[in-house]
Amino acid sequence: MSVRMRHTKGHTRNRRSHHALKEPRLAKCADCGEFHLRHRVCLNCGKYRGKVIIDIEKEIAKREEKAKRKKKELEQAGIKENKSEKDEVKEEKSKKAPKLQAGELSKK
């Protein structure tokens, strides 16, 4: 079924005037001074209203331990860290075509 009557640009734009995105409301952390979303834990220090909710130091230590364990497993398996394919392609291109200086370009 078709639309009965057409809508003018003005009516369409008036309706869409309420669709704008609003900036997030931020609060400043009392302990570290970083900005965070209101009523949420500060991701920098892990506190909410003065209480420690997330132990940031523990989380960082946990990530470092996991990285060390993974690196050790790779070394034991005899696998070195592989470069991504993009890096390999860039290296090949740089080896093939040496950079020319201004004098050499004018000769060609």
| Mean pLDDT of each 10-residue bin along the chain, 108 residues long | 83 94 93 92 90 89 93 83 62 63 63
And the tokens for 23? Answer: 């900036």
Per the document, the length of the chain is: 108
Q: Are 95 and 88 in contact (CB under 8 A)?
A: no
Q: What is the pLDDT of residue 16?
A: 95
Q: Are 1 and 13 in contact (CB under 8 A)?
A: no
Q: Is the pTM of this model over 0.75?
A: no
Q: What is the 3-state secondary structure (H, E, C) of 9-44?
A: HHHHHHHHCCCCCCCCCEEECCCCCCEEECCCCCCC
Task: Kindly calculate the radius of gyration of the chain based on its CA atoms and give it in whole angstroms.
Answer: 29
Q: What is the pLDDT of residue 35?
A: 94
Q: What is the pLDDT of residue 23?
A: 93
